Structure 1
Amino acid sequence: MSVPARTDPGQPTGGPPIVGSVPAMTAPPTTSRHDWRSALADLSGGWGQRSLWGHLGWQDIRQRYRRSVLGPIWITISMAVTAVALGILYAGLFGNDLSVQLPYILVGFIVWAFISGCITEGADVFIANEGLIKHLPAPLSVHVYRLVWRQSLFFAHNLIVYLIMLLVFPQPLDWSVLLALPAFLLLAVNGAWVAMLFGIVTTRFRDLNPITQSIVQLMFFLTPIVWMYQDLLNSSNPTIADRARLAEFNPFLHFIEVIRQPLLGQDVVWRHWVVVLGITVVGWVMCLVVLRRYRSRVSYWV
């Protein structure tokens, strides 16, 4: 009984045997789904689809105020009514002039509306877009950019109240008012990583969504939005002044102040900018780590 000669696996059948050794065939290298390049490609790919998330952001606002006579102007009206009511209330409680208390509260409200929107809606950004994630082959960052763009449109609408306030209560504005633009860009950049990070984590652990909303409501009272931080620091009571300094550990204070100070013509405190820049760097590092590790699982979690 004869044993057939062994042939190389890559040798075509039916031909003469190939003399010598043939190098083994190796598979082409594959790109891991958990590498940094994929995470960065998701962010850049989503930014490249600006026409998509820009259109979707406009549609979100139009859909929310569909068949409304005033449409998005209701955003401005509700913001103005709330700010005026709280301004009159807290001006009486703290004994401040209304021309000082009301602009302080109004600008704080405008900035806080953007921050709280990015956090609360960011925690739900992927769950709310379940259908698009499963059926639309687009980067995850598209939904985050859409959310930040929508909140930016709300912010622009609320600025109408600020412009009206300048006519009623003129502020000592100077060149520093131009710092409000880079300050808002920093705010939007931080809103993007917050929405991405919270969105991924909350998609996996759904119980974090109501917890996040509760924490945001609590931080509203702990952040100097309706109460004036400088008044407490300059208090004659040393105990109150010492406790007021604890607000420096509140990161929302610094994000509020980098925009409120230029818009009200106040002296710019660069310490707030340093803290905001530090939070921006640390936040994006954490976001990229989570995006690199769990980006491919979001479609299974929603």
Structure 2
Amino acid sequence: MDLVKQSDVSTSQDEETEFAIDLRHGLGLIARHRMACGDVAKGFGLWRLALTLSWLDIRLRYRGSILGPFWLTLSTALMIGSLGFLYAFLFHTPIRDYLPFLSLSLILWTFIATIISEGCTVFVSAEGMIRSMRIPFSVYLGQLLARNILILGHNVVVIVVVFLAFQVPVSFAAFAAIPAFLIWMVDGIATALLLGAICARFRDIPPIIGSIMQIAFYVSAVMFKPEFLGKRGWFLLYDPFFTLLQIVRQPLLGSIPGYATYLSAIGFSIALCALTWYTFLRVRHRIAFWI
């Protein structure tokens, strides 16, 4: 009986040690880097927990609904249908060419905008769990990313229906969207971590981010094709939202973006990840107190 009790105590102690979050202040850069890497590594190890939490979020959000997340799919389809015919007329573009572009653009942009918007409150919304449970901060980032990927999977139905209705050919160029989407996932985690930490300290940042995203929606070639601008569209290569959107959208439409687009997107991703990691090293031990 004593052996059983001792084994239970040692097991519980091991678990506490494994999932402990060190929030000590005044540590050196190497120690902070080691703890941050441990946080991320443990978060990856708990990917099943992040996936379960994301699925639970979706079930709670649409609890009592008949169609569940497909209500969002239906509303997206209605918006694409109504805006597609209107803007095709305004841009003097055949609906056969414009509607597949618009459906792909709006659904991909919704994915980006939602991650940025929810990333601002990723830690604030998990205040109860952070204060009561020893879970790596990276788990909440995985939960946010997995939830939005599941919702994107529901909205992909609209793209498939539009492509089939207008007989849009899908070439081998579409495979180039796979590594581009992996870049999206890395950027999504980095963005949520950066904004989540900053917005936990400064609660007036989310409205500013919302205003920036509204402006970016209109200037990042979401509603219009970039070729409509002709030579005047040179500034789009300096727009990170456009280049990141383009490296996924254009291969799915049958062509490969130019090297300048990839260089811009990859350069922005590297800068974002570097800034995020530096910020995480500086404020990781403070997040639990800011919320």
Alpha-carbon distance, 1:33 to partner: 7.3
Q: Render the CA deviation track for 1:111-170: whole Å, top value 9, x for unaligned.
A: 111110111100111111110110110111111111011111111111111111111112
**Which structure has the larger Rg?**
1
Aligned with residue 286 of structure 2, among 251, 275, 297: 297
Q: Is 2:41 the counterpart of 1:44?
A: yes
> By how many angstroms is 1:272 displaced?
1.9
CA offsets 1:2-33 (integer angstroms, 9 cap, x no match): xxxxxxxxxxxxxxxxxxxxxxxxxxxxx937
Code of the residue aligned with 1:245 in structure 2: it is: W
Residue 151 (structure 1) aligned with residue 148 (structure 2):
yes
Residue 219 of structure 1 corresponds to 216
Match of 2:247 among 258, 277, 295: 258
Residue pair 2:237, 2:261 contacting (<8 A) in 1 also: no
Letter paired with 2:202: F
* 2:275 equivalent in structure 1: 286
Among residues 204, 208, 211, which one is paired with 2:205 in the alignment? Answer: 208
How far does the alpha carbon of each residue in 1:251-288 deviate from its partner, in whole angstroms, 9 at most, with x for none? 11111111111111134323222222212211111111
1:268 and 2:257 are equivalent in the alignment: yes
Structure 1 spans left out of the alignment, 5+ residues:
1-30, 234-240
Q: How far did residue 247 of structure 1 move?
A: 2.2
Which among 229, 234, 249 is matched to residue 238 of structure 2?
Answer: 249
Q: What is the aligned counterpart of 1:32 among 27, 31, 45?
A: 27
Separation (CA, whole Å) in 1 of partners of 2:103 and 2:91:
16
Mapped contact 1:124–1:203 kept (Cα < 8 A): yes
Cα contact 1:193–1:283 (8 A) shared by 2: yes
Offset at residue 223 of structure 1 (A): 1.2
**CA-CA distance at 1:60 after TM superposition:** 0.8
Higher normalized helix content (fraction of residues):
2
> In the alignment, is the contact (CA less than 8 A) between 1:87 and 1:98 conserved in 2?
yes
1:90 to 2:79 alignment = no
Distance in 2 between residues matched to 1:172 and 1:269, nearest whole Å: 21
Q: CA RMSD in A?
A: 1.6
State whether residues 86 and 226 of structure 1, in contact with CA within 8 Å, keep that contact through their aligned partners in structure 2.
no
- Residue 248 of structure 1: how far off its partner (Å): 2.1
Amino acid aligned to 2:216: M
The amino acid across from 1:84 in the alignment is: G
**Aligned length, in residue pairs:** 265
1:63: how far off? 0.8
Alignment of 1:97-246 (within 5 A): 97-233=94-230, 241-242=231-232, 244-246=233-235
Stretch deviating more after TM superposition (169-178 or 128-137)? 169-178
Corresponding residue for residue 26 of structure 1: none
1: CA distance, partners of 2:121 / 2:39: 19
For the pair 1:77 / 2:85, whether they are aligned, the reply is no
Mapped partners of 1:180, 1:155: distance in 2: 15
**How many Å apart are 1:173 and its aligned residue?**
2.0
Q: Give the distance between the partners of 1:270 and 1:149, measured in 2 at CA.
A: 30
Distance 1:85 1:272 in 2: 30
Secondary structure of 1:79's counterpart equals helix
**What is the CA–CA distance in structure 2 between the aligned matches of 1:152 and 1:129, rounded to whole Å?**
19
What letter is aligned with 2:46?
Answer: Q
Aligned partner letter, 1:269: G
**Code of the aligned partner of 1:297:** R
Deviates more, 1:261-270 or 1:282-291: 261-270
